[in-house]
Amino acid sequence: MEVETIEKQGDASEFFGIKSSKTFRNYIENRIGRVKDIETRFILKGVLEAYEHFHPKAKEDNFKLEIEIISGWKGIGDIRVYLGFDNDFRINVPIKDKVTHIVSWSKHHVKKEDLNAMIRVIKKMDVNEEISCYEIAKKMGLDWKNDVWKNRTKVYFPKYYYPIKILEKLKIISYSGKGDVKRLV
């Protein structure tokens, strides 16, 4: 029995499933899930294993936020939340290029005054209480839309986002991707 071969030539972005996949690994995994033929599935799994051999997954820990207290407390003992912070922080944020996927690091200085303003809001919450980003802005005396979000460079990142991420890293709060903050201690 002769097998007929059909090959598609042209733009790879036109292939079925390419546009909906973010990575090659994701594309192959989707193909494996859709193929009924065991032999084809076996071949695709082999291709995926070969790909992972040559392109191992980067450890997610390598791309997490890095936080450093510039001087003072070094992580030994408790953080007394009710006192606030006496030190500024340095925060390194990973930024992944959308085209090349190369990760570069952006360094930011977080002032203790901005962190302590956030701590004052958190201190007024009960342990395990959860509030939205809009409520936090209001409690800081800011309007989310006009003061915070509109001024992302001058207000959102230095006075809201970076302090939130520091407090999350120190396990004082948990922060959801949709903007909810929950006090943990």
Mean pLDDT for each 10-residue chunk of the chain (185 residues)?
A: 62 66 77 82 85 67 55 46 72 80 83 90 91 92 89 90 88 87 90
> Measured in Å, how far apart are the chain's first and last C-alpha atoms?
71
CA distances for 31 relative to 43, 45, 130, 145, angstroms? 11, 10, 41, 43
User: CA 166, 167, 168 angle in degrees (round to 5)?
Assistant: 90
* CB contact at 8 A, 119 and 167: yes
pLDDT the model gives residue 174: 92
* CB contact at 8 A, 18 and 12: yes
pLDDT the model gives residue 63: 52
List, for residues 143-177, the tens digit of each pLDDT value: 998 988 888 889 999 999 989 988 888 888 999 87
pLDDT the model gives residue 132: 93
Please state, in angstroms and rounded to a whole number, the distance separating the CA atoms of residues 49 and 59. Answer: 17
User: What is the DSSP pairing of strand 173-175 with strand 66-69?
Assistant: unpaired
pLDDT the model gives residue 129: 93
pLDDT the model gives residue 2: 64
pLDDT the model gives residue 1: 56
